[in-house]
Chain A
Amino acid sequence: MTETLPVTAGVLDERRLLDAYRTMRTIRMFEERVHEEFATGEIPGFVHLYAGEEASATGVCAHLDERDAISSTHRGHGHCIAKGVDVKAMMAEIYGRATGSCHGKGGSMHIADLSKGMLGANGIVGGGPPLICGAALAAKLQNTGGVGVAFFGDGASNQGTTLEAMNLASVWNVPVVFVAENNGYAEATASSWSVAADSIADRAPAFGMPGVTVDGFDFFAVYEAAGEAVERARAGGGPTLIEVEFTRYFGHFEGDQQTYRTDEVARARAERDCLRSFRARVMDSGLLSAERLDEVDREVALLIDRAVAEAKEAPKPTAADLETDVYISY
């Protein structure tokens, strides 16, 4: 029932190509830096990195604007960056600082910026899809033309909340795009074992919506599939399920010894990497020069350096913050 879309160059102008590249590079450098800094012991708590999966958040969010809302996962840094959450505030949040996106009360798994339509990274697997049905319902009732995008993993594709949300979105005919990010493993358990179907996208017809599987290493493939789904949702055509397949470059969490897999990360980095393939595509087709892309790399590196330096310098929340922000009035 599913189709694999042909990969075409798309119709992105230079500015949008550069934006996409900058977003992917920002996610990559952000995550690689967090990986390094976490190893020093300075970052508290649980951290799950998105490196390797950049084309998904970037290719989908390239179609979204301020009307639109997304829900995310425990592996949420990439979705936050792609939806426009401030990178320095994100880094400060990961360090538990008062200047963080959530004033140090959320941490890596709960970075949110509701003013940007980013409804939060979510520590509960499958927590987001029901929320996005509501965000899409609000957009429909308010006639904003907005859509909701639920990012979730292969693990969450087996959660009842996700399946209920897919059914509900179709029953209500609300503008949702379900993006199943299949990175091969739910924690340490292979999706080839845990998903009792040939693909996650195969479940779409059961919920009355189209489903597609796309190569998650290919920004253009994700961009094209997401564009079609977002356009259909905005036009009142209902929800779509997009399964994005790739490999995560780091462990389930920082510190994961990854004894459940062998050389697939090295192979993916060498042969499939989304940033490498994006550069090759835009340079081969003469759309962007190596110099221009390298310039973006330098700018992003500087931004990440500053974000880490500022986060380390920033104050932590104080005792006065412990009991605030529970209720609006109580």
Chain B
Amino acid sequence: MARTMTYREALNEALVQEMERDQSVIVMGEDNAGGAGGPGEQDAWGGVLGVTKGLYPRFPDRVLDTPISESGFIGAAIGAATRGMRPVAELMFVDFLGVCFDQIYNQAAKFRYMFGGKAVTPVVIRTMYGGGLRAAAQHSQALYPIFTHVPGLKVVLPSSPYDAKGLLIQAVRDDDPVIFCEHKALYDTVGEVPEEPYTIPFGEAGIVRDGEDATIVALGRMVAVAVEAADDLAPSGVSCDVIDLRTTSPLDEDTILESVENTGRLIVVDEASPRCGMAADIASLAAREAFGALRAPVQTVTPPHTPVPFSDALEDLYLPDAQRVANTVKDVMNRER
């Protein structure tokens, strides 16, 4: 039987294997070793997410705790990347990008272009995003569209333990700056993960369900939501392609368009706010490139344009779920033109 592990363990294994393979890989972030300077230093937290647990005792020189200074250490990771290192920095919650964004979008993202193609900045910024843990407005956002908007960054959103490991190893080996977005509700999900190191190329979406009637494009945790909806629809005779984007930059336009050419219907499920998000972006792609194939208007399933609410009664309404996705697919099926 194939080995299974959690999304968190898959990420940890990717880091361990890359640190063993390449001395230039270093890890840094708040509590990443955990307890630095205190008696608990050897029994480390491994980050508030627990993803880096156990790395410090194995690689004491290459796992660095940092002060709560996101501009300082995210910038330091970027600077070290220009000088031969492959840093993996942890931005604990993506919501904290506001206190370090300059180093990411004005520095790391622009070096290569701005310096005439001579800069190499192989930095990975791991960050936790998304709702569902009642963490409220400043710890629940899905801000990956902001990174996707910036030329020079690559943006990755693994939806499963298998993808988490393969995409993180690819991110570490990639020579461009990578924003690696981990959904906080996925850390304990379990799936098959091979023991040996492997990579999943960026810009190649996964097709997680094959169907003929509609295309559902999803990313991150919304992939599981889309799959649940597709499974719910199957008994009624509606079969859906479910496409997992895996990366929003680069974006696998071909896989989306091929599917839409086949099904004629497109629903995009995105946990990010609706304005200027991936749902709108992919809807516009279909309008530009697959207009002739569309048999109904493209529909998007996103949260409302509000901050993320705290109360479970509100957050459950805020987040797209399988029922909303299935209802949207049914609506699209009924809007034959």
Residues in chain A within 8 A of chain B (CB atoms): 69, 71, 100-106, 110, 112-115, 119-120, 122-124, 127, 129-135, 137-139, 141-142, 148, 160-161, 164-165, 167-168, 171-172, 324-330
Whether the Cβ atoms of B112 and A134 lie closer than 8 Å is no
Whether the Cβ atoms of B112 and A326 lie closer than 8 Å is yes
The stretch of B100-108, B139-147, B231-239, B258-266 that contacts the partner chain: B100-108
Whether the Cβ atoms of A103 and B79 lie closer than 8 Å is no
Whether the Cβ atoms of A161 and B103 lie closer than 8 Å is yes
Whether the Cβ atoms of B72 and A105 lie closer than 8 Å is no
Whether the Cβ atoms of A329 and B176 lie closer than 8 Å is yes
Whether the Cβ atoms of A133 and B176 lie closer than 8 Å is no
Extra contacts besides A134-B75, A135-B82, A164-B71 (17): CB < 8 Å:
A102-B114, A102-B115, A105-B117, A124-B107, A130-B71, A134-B76, A134-B77, A134-B87, A137-B64, A138-B79, A161-B103, A164-B72, A325-B113, A325-B116, A328-B120, A329-B175, A329-B176
Q: Does B67 contact A (CB under 8 A)?
A: yes
Q: Does B288 contact A (CB under 8 A)?
A: no
Which residues of chain A have C-beta atoms less than 8 A from B80's C-beta? 134-135, 137-138
Q: Does B250 contact A (CB under 8 A)?
A: yes
Whether the Cβ atoms of B112 and A130 lie closer than 8 Å is no
- Contact flags B85-109 to A (C-beta < 8 A → 1, else 0): 1010000000000000011001100
Contact residues of B between 110 and 150, Cβ < 8 Å to A: 111-120
A261 to B106, CA, bound (A): 32
Known contacts A130-B71, A131-B75, A133-B76; decide if A161 and B102 are in contact (CB<8 Å): yes
Which residues of chain B have C-beta atoms less than 8 A from A106's C-beta? 114-116
Whether the Cβ atoms of A327 and B69 lie closer than 8 Å is no
Q: Does B197 contact A (CB under 8 A)?
A: no
Checking B79, B113, B120 against A131 with a beta-carbon cut-off of 8 angstroms, the contacting residue is B79
Q: Does B84 contact A (CB under 8 A)?
A: yes
Which residues of chain A have C-beta atoms less than 8 A from B154's C-beta? 327, 330
Minimum C-beta distance from B89 to chain A (A): 9
Whether the Cβ atoms of B151 and A326 lie closer than 8 Å is yes
Minimum C-beta distance from B326 to chain A (A): 35
5 closest A-B pairs by CB: A130-B75, A134-B79, A164-B72, A325-B117, A131-B79
Minimum C-beta distance from A189 to chain B (A): 20
Whether the Cβ atoms of A131 and B115 lie closer than 8 Å is no
Minimum C-beta distance from B42 to chain A (A): 19
Which residues of chain A have C-beta atoms less than 8 A from B106's C-beta? 123-124, 127
Q: Does B152 contact A (CB under 8 A)?
A: yes
Q: Does B26 contact A (CB under 8 A)?
A: yes
Known contacts A130-B79, A161-B75, A326-B113; decide if A141 and B85 are in contact (CB<8 Å): yes
Whether the Cβ atoms of A119 and B82 lie closer than 8 Å is yes
Whether the Cβ atoms of B83 and A133 lie closer than 8 Å is no
A-B contact pairs, 19 of them (CB 8 A): A103-B116, A103-B117, A114-B119, A115-B118, A124-B107, A130-B73, A130-B75, A130-B78, A130-B79, A131-B75, A131-B76, A131-B103, A134-B85, A137-B80, A138-B83, A161-B75, A161-B103, A168-B72, A326-B112
Whether the Cβ atoms of A130 and B74 lie closer than 8 Å is yes
Whether the Cβ atoms of A161 and B82 lie closer than 8 Å is no
Minimum C-beta distance from B28 to chain A (A): 9
Which residues of chain A have C-beta atoms less than 8 A from B175's C-beta? 328-329
Whether the Cβ atoms of A120 and B114 lie closer than 8 Å is yes
Which residues of chain B have C-beta atoms less than 8 A from A124's C-beta? 102, 106-107
Whether the Cβ atoms of B71 and A160 lie closer than 8 Å is yes
Whether the Cβ atoms of A168 and B76 lie closer than 8 Å is yes
